Amino acid sequence: MRRLIIPATLAAVTAAMFAFPAPAERAVVIPAASRDVPAASGLQTAILAGGCFWGMEAVFERVKGVRAVTSGYAGGDRATANYAAVSTERTRHAEAVRIVYDPRQVSYATLLRVYFSIAHDPTQLNRQGPDTGPSYRSAIFPQNAAQRDVANAYVAQLAKSSAYSRPIVTRLESGAFFPAEENHQQFYDRNPTHPYIVRWDKPKVAAFKAAFPTLAR
């Protein structure tokens, strides 16, 4: 299911039609990861996929220590890394975000905790909310061996916990990341009245701030 990018005036009118309260969204209470990537100097990068990149970007942009978030496509080829092609669900890409962060302020394992707790639902297979297809899959793209080890261990740790009523379907994958078109970048902030943002992403951002007040900025 593809999201429509509609003019701001039309978005405002449409949002008014959906003026009923958005469904409450809550972070899933999960333990912190028992392992983390060793401390490193300099900025680090994480790439995570979990449904519509608009909401993922909006959440991680509000995490202290995150310096930049870019929406894009991961897991497929450069030639088809564009919205029209990915929309066919035949390119192997996942909508993803590239997160550049300062490990002195926020760790990789902490980013994963936000990812699993509120940024997306890791129990939904090839979908998130109203969006369906493999481009909306739950996937982690580790950037090095240390990230892969920590992500593997955390998925196993969460699978053994009682946090979720359904199995975790998150996969660890490899592949390049390609930035999405400019109109997808910072979509949440530039289109606050867009009906998709109002219905799905604003409750998610509010839930993040409520669940992780010390991480939110």
Considering 52, 66, 97, 205, which one is annotated as catalytic?
52
- In 8-157, the DSSP E strands lie at 44-50, 66-74, 94-101, 127-128, 131-132, 138-140
Give CA–CA dist 186/122, Å, rounded. 23
Q: How many CB atoms lie within 10 A of CB 162?
A: 7
Q: Is 2 considered catalytic here?
A: no
For every residue of 168-196, which 3-state class applies, written as one string?
CCCEECCCCEEECCHHHCCHHHHCCCCHH
CA 176, CA 162: separation in Å to the nearest integer? 33
CB 76 within 8 A of CB 175: yes
Query: Hey, which residues are catalytic here?
Result: 52
